[in-house]
Amino acid sequence: MIDAGLTPEERRRFQDIAVIRRILAESRTIGVVGLSGERQRASHFVATYLQRAGYRVIPVNPGWDMILGETTYPDLASVPVPLDLVVVFRRGQETLGVAEQAIAAGVPRIWFQLRIPARDAAERAAAAGLEVVMDKCIKIEHGRFGGTLAWAGMNTGIVSAKKALPTPRSR
Amino acid sequence: MTAAEKPAIPAAQSRRFGFETRMLHAGHIPDAAVGARAVPIYQTTSFVFDDTEMAAQLFELRQYGNIYTRIGNPTTAVFEERVASLEGATGAVATSSGMAAQLVALMTLLSPGDEIVASSHLYGGTVTQFTHTFKKLSIGVRFVDPTRLGNWEQAITPATRALFGETIGNPRGSILDLAPLAGLADSKSIPLIVDNTFATPYLCRPIEHGATIVIHSATKFIGGHGNSIGGVIAESGRFDYSAFPTIAGPSASYHGLRFFETFGHYGYLMKARAETVRDTGACLSPMNAFLLLQGLETLSLRMDRHTANALTVAEFLRDHPAVAWVSYAGLPDHPDHGLAKKYLGGRPGAVFSFGLKAEGGDARAAGRRFIESLQLFSHLANVGDARSLVIHPASTTHQQLSDTELEAAGVGAELVRLSIGLETADDLLWDLDQALGAPS
């Protein structure tokens, strides 16, 4: 499977460029549900990337006490700090439960990672007023709009004659 | 670092820009520091790291960034993204030549003992690479007459890992029937690799017809001016590699990293760059990337002119008394004219061959006389230059073969290959006419 096979209407609702950019720009503390402590797993790569990009990552995984130097919590209800965003690395059938936890915890935004079928969870979160992204990788999207994905020779789909904005790192 | 980085790309838009706009803009945004409008040439071997932690994460492939030009370079990356955009691919990896593009594209997929099935209507250098160099790597190659789908199907075995063909075959000019072949590849869960060199993405985009991997000798029409050797591999991002051992399995050189699981639709290209290009050293130089980008910026204009001139020349030769035959699928009587219309808008590139009438029976001598009489066509071993080119295989690239062997290779002693350039069409016809009429 390459992706979750969203319809054009689902892509319009759950892959909106303006929503993605707002989430990347405004989030500071990110709960990562299903973050693995194993170094070569995709979730570990993504969380490492997010930390380096300046976000605080709060790992949520009942199997681990500490990941990437951060205390790890068994579920979203146990996280003692307010989260700006929840990123979900769980199987499709577990995503609805994660959405319910995020709603109960008052998290304003939820992001279901690439290749995870999460339609019911996305609909539930959207109905509760959360901003939702589905079937996208947050590392890829950050790299796309941060100007670094292009260095990997990937097709960002971005065409612009405007000068790039300075980033904190390049100032 | 305490605050998250603000997005560095200025405008958020979802507009799908046209081909010509992307020829000029895709892959390059004027940088924040100086705003250079042309693509800067980053003529450097290596890149200073922010700090030791960032260096470690770059080497582990956890971060996007630049390490060493053998693996990636910002100028080369513009070329890669631009080709990916024009081909409708998810990304691309540039290589030192078209031959390197083939080698890297296939080595990334294959292990010793694997096989590929390839069209027999291929560039001779490709046949040699597949037959001899791949043999040293214990890769088996089965060549098939590409015109019957059943030939491909019969040649596929459990060891087959890729199907390979050229959109426009060199030098015969036959057109690959892409859609049914892609359907066959899909039904067997094998990627179809298409060499799109002669067509360019302006005339045909194989991914739109189901191909997984598209490769180019960028030396030809992409560069377009005969000044730089280069190649590129683009991938669709639509192929499921989850059961494909080399892409899905653990990488010994990255601590068990599974490229498909970790990078998803980027997995194949990440592996091609971070393992195959890294280890073979078959990288493109930034200077050549810049020159190839200059070519891409005028690709549509040149291909319009190349194909218009090619049709004019083909029609002239078809009606010339000293010419035995012309093989250009742009002519209505060519057996592949229907495929040329289906896949190439009826404009199958600007490289084709024709046969000289050998009055005295000595076709090789007639070929030599014709080549030596030309004033405007350059006699050399390349195609896709802005200038018109000519070669007579029987007296050059294939001169060691007997007449019988030439016929078996599909390259008769009377065959002349042309690559039609951008000159005034009447001048090309004048030159061909005077050379065809040269006294023996």
pLDDT in tens, B33-79: 999 999 999 999 999 999 999 999 999 999 999 999 999 999 999 99
More confident residue, B15 or B151: B151
Helix (H, G, I), strand (E, B) or coil at B260: helix
Beta bridge partners of A117: none
| Confidence label for A167 from pLDDT (cuts 50, 70 and 90) | low
Contact B91 A153 (CB under 8 A): yes
Query: Which of B62, B92, B242 minimises the CB distance to A45?
Result: B62
Q: What are B104-122's pLDDT values in tens digits?
A: 999 999 999 999 999 999 9
Give the ipTM of the model, two decimals please: 0.95
**φ, ψ (nearest 5 deg) of residue B356:** -80, 145
Distance CA A112, CA B420 (A): 52
What pLDDT was estimated at residue B54? 96
What is the CA B195 to chain-centroid distance, rounded?
5
CB contacts of B27 in chain A (<8 Å) are 150, 156
Placement of tokens 């998803």 in the chain = B264
Q: What are B414-432's pLDDT values in tens digits?
A: 899 999 999 999 999 999 9
- The identity of residue B141, as a single letter, is V
Distance CA B169, CA B353 (A): 11
What pLDDT was estimated at residue A171? 31
Is B376:B416 a contact under the CB 8 Å cutoff? no
Give yes or no for residue A72 having a pLDDT over 70. Answer: yes
Give yes or no for residue B96 having a pLDDT over 60. Answer: yes
Distance CA B343, CA B348 (A): 9
Contact A150 B78 (CB under 8 A): yes
Does the global pTM surpass 0.90?
A: yes
CB contacts of B75 in chain A (<8 Å) are none
Preceding amide of B171 cis, omega within 30: yes
Give the sign of the dihedral formed by CA B134, CA B170, CA B152, CA B408.
negative
Distance CA B428, CA B305 (A): 13
What pLDDT was estimated at residue B393? 85
Distance CA A24, CA A45 (A): 17
Is B151:B145 a contact under the CB 8 Å cutoff? yes
- The identity of residue A98, as a single letter, is V
Q: What are A13-46's pLDDT values in tens digits?
A: 999 999 999 999 999 999 999 999 999 999 999 9
A 119-138 → B contacts, CB under 8 A: 137
CB contacts of A19 in chain B (<8 Å) are none
Helix (H, G, I), strand (E, B) or coil at B55: helix
Contact A163 B76 (CB under 8 A): no
Nearest residue of chain A to residue B254 (CA atoms): A40
